[in-house]
Structure 1
Amino acid sequence: MNERDAHRRAIIIDTPPTSNGDLHVGHLAGPFMAADVYARYLRSNGRPVVFSSGTDDSQTYVLASARRKGLTPEELSGRSWHEIRATLAGMGVSLDGFAPYDDRYRASVLKFLTTLHQAGKFREKTVRLPYSERRGEYLVEGLVCGYCPICLVESRGGLCETCGHQNNFDELIEPRSTVDPDDVVTHREARILVLPMEEYRERLTAYYREREPRLRPHTMQLVREVLARPLPDFPITYPIGWGIPAPFPETPGQRINAWAEGMPAVMYTTAYAAERLGERHADDDELWRAEHDPEIVYFIGFDNVYFWGFTHIAALMAHDGRYALPHTFLSNEFYELENAKFSTSLGHVLYTKDLLEEVPRDLVRFYLAISCPEHQQTNFSRDALAKVTGDRLVRPWNRLAGLLGKAVADAGAEGTVLPVSEEGRRRAEAVAERFRACYELSGYSLTRAANLIVGQLDRLVRQARLVHETAADPAGLGDLFLDVRVLMACASPILIDLARAASEAGGFSLRLDDDGLRPEHIAPFALPLLGASDDAAHAR
Structure 2
Amino acid sequence: MEKKQYTVTAALPYANGPLHLGHVAGVYLPADIFVRFLRHKEHDVAFISGSDEHGAAITLRAKKEGISPQEIVDKYHDIIGNAFKKFDIKFDIFHRTTAETHKETAQDFFKVLDKKGAFTQKTTEQYYDQDHEQFLADRYISGECPKCGYAEAYGDQCEKCGSALSPTDLINPVSTLSGKTPVLRETSHWFLPMERHEDWLREWIKEGTLDGVQQHDPKKWRNQVNGQCLSWIDGGLHPRAMTRDLDWGIPVPVEGADGKVLYVWLDAPIGYISATKDWAKSVGKDWKDYWTGDRKLVHFIGKDNIVFHAVIFPILLKEHGEFILPDNVPASEFLNLEGAKFSTSRNWAVWLHEYLERHPEKVDELKYTLTSIAPESKDSEFTWLDFQSRVNNELADVLGNFVNRALVLNNKYYDGAVPTLGELTAEDQKVIDAIKEIPAKVEELLYNYKIREAQGEVMGLARIGNRYLAETEPWKVVKTDPKRVETILHIALQITANLAILFDPFIPATAAKMRNFLNMETFNWAQAGSINLLSARTKTNPPSILFQKIDDEFVENEKAILIASQKDNESAKEAEAEEEEKPTAPQKEDIEFDEFLKIDIRVGKILSAKKVKKADKLLELLVDTGLDQRTIVSGIAEQFDIEEIVGKKVSVLMNLPPRKLRGVVSNGMILMAEDKLGNLSFIAPGEGMEVGAEIR
TM-score by length of 2: 0.72
Q: Once the 2 structures are TM-superposed, how far is the Cα of residue 51 of structure 1 from its aligned partner?
A: 0.4
**1:532 maps to 2:510:** no
Contact 1:237 1:255 in 2 (8 A): yes
Match of 1:99, SS? strand
Equivalences for residues 444-523 of structure 1 within 5 A: 444-465=449-470, 466=472, 467-471=474-478, 473-508=485-520, 509-514=522-527, 517-519=530-532, 522=535, 523=538
Equivalences for residues 1-40 of structure 1 within 5 A: 2=1, 5=3, 8-40=4-36
1:185 to 182, 185, 188: 182
* CA distance in structure 2 between the partners assigned to 1:12 and 1:52 by the alignment: 6
CA displacement, residues 433-486 of structure 1 (integer Å, 9 cap, x when unaligned): 222233112xx2232233334433222112223234332622222121111111
User: Which of the two has greater helix per residue?
Assistant: 1
* CA distance in structure 2 between the partners assigned to 1:161 and 1:202 by the alignment: 28
Equivalences for residues 138-537 of structure 1 within 5 A: 138-154=135-151, 155-180=153-178, 182-208=179-205, 209-210=207-208, 211-276=217-282, 278-281=283-286, 285-289=288-292, 292-320=293-321, 322-359=322-359, 360-412=362-414, 414-419=416-421, 423=429, 425-441=432-448, 444-465=449-470, 466=472, 467-471=474-478, 473-508=485-520, 509-514=522-527, 517-519=530-532, 522=535, 523=538, 525=540, 526-529=542-545, 530-534=547-551, 535-537=553-555
* CA distance in structure 2 between the partners assigned to 1:117 and 1:363 by the alignment: 49
Query: What is the aligned partner in structure 1 of residue 631 from structure 2?
Result: none
* CA distance in structure 2 between the partners assigned to 1:275 and 1:431 by the alignment: 39
Task: Compare CA radii of gyration and give the structure with the larger one.
Answer: 2
Deviates more, 1:393-402 or 1:412-421: 412-421
Paired positions, count: 527
Percentage of identical aligned residues: 20
Alpha-carbon RMSD across the aligned residues, in angstroms, is 2.2
* CA distance in structure 2 between the partners assigned to 1:279 and 1:468 by the alignment: 56
Contact 2:402 2:466 in 1 (8 A): yes
* CA distance in structure 1 between the partners assigned to 2:366 and 2:177 by the alignment: 34
Match of 1:206, SS? helix
CA displacement, residues 197-217 of structure 1 (integer Å, 9 cap, x when unaligned): 112222211211214312111
Q: Once the 2 structures are TM-superposed, how far is the Cα of residue 10 of structure 1 from its aligned partner?
A: 0.9
Q: Once the 2 structures are TM-superposed, how far is the Cα of residue 516 of structure 1 from its aligned partner?
A: 7.0
Match of 2:297, SS? strand
- Structure 1: 5+ residue stretches without partners: none
* CA distance in structure 2 between the partners assigned to 1:438 and 1:516 by the alignment: 16
Match of 1:354, SS? helix
* CA distance in structure 1 between the partners assigned to 2:141 and 2:420 by the alignment: 67
* CA distance in structure 2 between the partners assigned to 1:45 and 1:527 by the alignment: 29
| 1:113 maps to amino acid | F
Match of 1:20, SS? coil
Query: CA separation of 1:286/1:521 partners in 2, compared to 1, >3 Å: closer, same or farther?
Result: closer
Q: Once the 2 structures are TM-superposed, how far is the Cα of residue 153 of structure 1 from its aligned partner?
A: 2.6
Match of 2:312, SS? helix
CA displacement, residues 31-51 of structure 1 (integer Å, 9 cap, x when unaligned): 001100000111111111110
Deviates more, 1:55-64 or 1:447-456: 447-456
* CA distance in structure 2 between the partners assigned to 1:484 and 1:122 by the alignment: 58
* CA distance in structure 2 between the partners assigned to 1:337 and 1:275 by the alignment: 41
Query: CA separation of 1:135/1:309 partners in 2, compared to 1, >3 Å: closer, same or farther?
Result: same
Match of 1:170, SS? helix
Contact 2:418 2:490 in 1 (8 A): no
Q: Once the 2 structures are TM-superposed, how far is the Cα of residue 221 of structure 1 from its aligned partner?
A: 1.5
| 2:69 maps to amino acid | P
Query: CA separation of 1:91/1:521 partners in 2, compared to 1, >3 Å: closer, same or farther?
Result: closer
Match of 1:51, SS? strand
Contact 2:432 2:531 in 1 (8 A): yes
Match of 2:378, SS? coil
Query: CA separation of 1:132/1:538 partners in 2, compared to 1, >3 Å: closer, same or farther?
Result: same
* CA distance in structure 2 between the partners assigned to 1:458 and 1:114 by the alignment: 58
* CA distance in structure 2 between the partners assigned to 1:533 and 1:234 by the alignment: 50
CA displacement, residues 329-372 of structure 1 (integer Å, 9 cap, x when unaligned): 10111112212222222222221122123341000101111112
* CA distance in structure 2 between the partners assigned to 1:228 and 1:440 by the alignment: 30
**1:111 maps to 2:117:** no
Deviates more, 1:20-29 or 1:128-137: 128-137
Contact 2:497 2:534 in 1 (8 A): no
Contact 2:15 2:76 in 1 (8 A): yes
Query: CA separation of 1:446/1:280 partners in 2, compared to 1, >3 Å: closer, same or farther?
Result: closer
* Greater RCO, CA 8 A, separation 6+: 1
Match of 2:341, SS? coil
Contact 2:190 2:241 in 1 (8 A): yes
Match of 2:347, SS? coil
Q: Once the 2 structures are TM-superposed, how far is the Cα of residue 139 of structure 1 from its aligned partner?
A: 1.5
Match of 2:300, SS? strand
Query: CA separation of 1:388/1:188 partners in 2, compared to 1, >3 Å: closer, same or farther?
Result: same
Deviates more, 1:104-113 or 1:456-465: 456-465
Query: CA separation of 1:513/1:86 partners in 2, compared to 1, >3 Å: closer, same or farther?
Result: same
Contact 1:403 1:468 in 2 (8 A): no
Contact 1:400 1:461 in 2 (8 A): yes
CA displacement, residues 396-436 of structure 1 (integer Å, 9 cap, x when unaligned): 33322332134214532523453387946543221212222
| 2:326 maps to amino acid | P
| 2:315 maps to amino acid | A
| 1:128 maps to amino acid | E
TM-score by length of 1: 0.92
Deviates more, 1:410-419 or 1:186-195: 410-419
Deviates more, 1:265-274 or 1:309-318: 265-274
* CA distance in structure 2 between the partners assigned to 1:73 and 1:194 by the alignment: 26
| 1:504 maps to amino acid | N
Contact 1:22 1:83 in 2 (8 A): yes
Match of 1:249, SS? coil
CA displacement, residues 504-539 of structure 1 (integer Å, 9 cap, x when unaligned): 232334531247725275336344422333344442
